[in-house]
Structure 1
Amino acid sequence: MSHPDFKFLPNLRDHLFEVVFGTETRAGKLFDIVLLWAIVLSVLAVMLESVTEIRQSFGDVFLILEWTFTVLFTIEYLLRLFITAKPGRYAFSFFGIIDLLATVPTYLTLFVAGGSYLVVIRSIRLLRIFRILKLGRYLREASVLSSALVASRHKIFVFLGAVFTLVMIMGTLMYMIEGGESGFTSIPRSIYWAIVTITTVGYGDIAPQTVTGQAVASMLMLMGYAIIAVPTGIVTSEIAQAEKNKKTEESNVRQCVACGKKGHDEDAIYCKNCSAKL
Structure 2
Amino acid sequence: MSSPSEQSPPSGFRQRLHEIIFEADTPAGKAFDVALLCAIILSVLTVLLESVPLLRDRFGAELRMVEWFFTGLFTVEYVLRLAAVLKPFRYARSFFGLVDLLALLPTYLSLLLPGAQSLLVVRVLRLLRVFRVLKLASFLGQAEILLTALRASRQKIIVFLCGVVSTVVIMGAVMYLVEGEKNGFDSIPRGMYWAVVTMTTVGFGDLTPKTVVGQFIASLLMIAGYGILAVPTGIVSVELAAAARRGAIDTQACPGCGVGGHDHDAAHCKHCGTALHPS
TM-score tier after normalising by the smaller chain length: 0.5 to 0.7
RMSD: 3.6
1:232–1:19 distance in 2 versus 1, CA, 3 Å: closer
Q: Deviations over 1:134-176 (max 9, x none)?
A: 2333444444444444444443333323322222222212112
Query: Which of 1 and 2 has higher RCO (CA within 8 Å, sep 6+)?
Result: 2
Name the counterpart of 2:58: 57
Q: TM-score, normalised on structure 2? A: 0.67
Name the counterpart of 1:167: 168
Quote the offset at 1:205 in angstroms.
2.0
Aligned residue identity for 1:93: Y
Instruction: State whether structure 2 residue 203 is matched by structure 1 residue 216.
Output: no
1:124–1:161 distance in 2 versus 1, CA, 3 Å: same
Unmatched segments (≥5 aa) in structure 2: 1-10, 248-262, 266-279
Distance 1:227 1:115 in 2: 37
Which aligned pairs between 1:115-126 and structure 2 lie closer than 5 A? 115-126=116-127
Which of the pair has more CA radius of gyration?
1
Aligned residue identity for 2:188: I
Matched residues, number: 237
Distance 2:82 2:38 in 1: 22
Q: Deviations over 1:214-259 (max 9, x none)?
A: 2221221111112222222233233334445x26xxxxx999xxxx
Q: Secondary structure at the match of 2:202?
A: coil
Q: Decide whether the 8 Å contact of 2:20 with 2:32 is kept in 1.
A: yes
Distance 2:64 2:36 in 1: 19
Q: Secondary structure at the match of 2:43?
A: helix
Identity %: 52
Quote the offset at 1:68 in angstroms.
2.8
Aligned residue identity for 2:33: D
Name the counterpart of 1:265: none
Quote the offset at 1:65 in angstroms.
1.9
Q: Decide whether the 8 Å contact of 1:91 with 1:97 is kept in 2.
A: no
Name the counterpart of 2:276: none
Quote the offset at 1:211 in angstroms.
2.9
Distance 1:103 1:172 in 2: 45
Instruction: State whether structure 2 residue 91 is matched by structure 1 residue 93.
Output: yes
Instruction: State whether structure 2 residue 229 is matched by structure 1 residue 228.
Output: yes
Instruction: State whether structure 2 residue 182 is matched by structure 1 residue 181.
Output: yes
1:138–1:222 distance in 2 versus 1, CA, 3 Å: same
Q: Decide whether the 8 Å contact of 1:90 with 1:96 is kept in 2.
A: no
Instruction: State whether structure 2 residue 74 is matched by structure 1 residue 70.
Output: no
Greater Cα shift, 38-47 or 194-203: 38-47
Q: Decide whether the 8 Å contact of 2:132 with 2:140 is kept in 1.
A: no
Quote the offset at 1:34 in angstroms.
2.4
Q: Deviations over 1:27-55 (max 9, x none)?
A: 43233122122223323322442344442
Q: Secondary structure at the match of 1:166?
A: helix
Quote the offset at 1:184 in angstroms.
1.5
Q: Secondary structure at the match of 1:203?
A: coil
Q: Decide whether the 8 Å contact of 2:106 with 2:116 is kept in 1.
A: yes
Distance 2:16 2:237 in 1: 47
Aligned residue identity for 1:202: G
Aligned residue identity for 1:221: M
Distance 1:242 1:151 in 2: 9
Name the counterpart of 2:47: 46
Distance 1:160 1:96 in 2: 29
Greater Cα shift, 10-19 or 149-158: 10-19
Quote the offset at 1:23 in angstroms.
1.1
Q: TM-score, normalised on structure 1? A: 0.67
Name the counterpart of 2:107: 106
Aligned residue identity for 2:234: G
Distance 1:229 1:85 in 2: 43
Q: Deviations over 1:183-227 (max 9, x none)?
A: 222111111111111111112221222333222212211111122
Greater Cα shift, 117-126 or 167-176: 117-126
Distance 1:14 1:150 in 2: 32
Question: Which structure features the higher share of helix residues?
Answer: 1
1:55–1:175 distance in 2 versus 1, CA, 3 Å: same
Name the counterpart of 2:251: none
Unmatched segments (≥5 aa) in structure 1: 1-9, 248-252, 256-278
Greater Cα shift, 182-191 or 49-58: 49-58
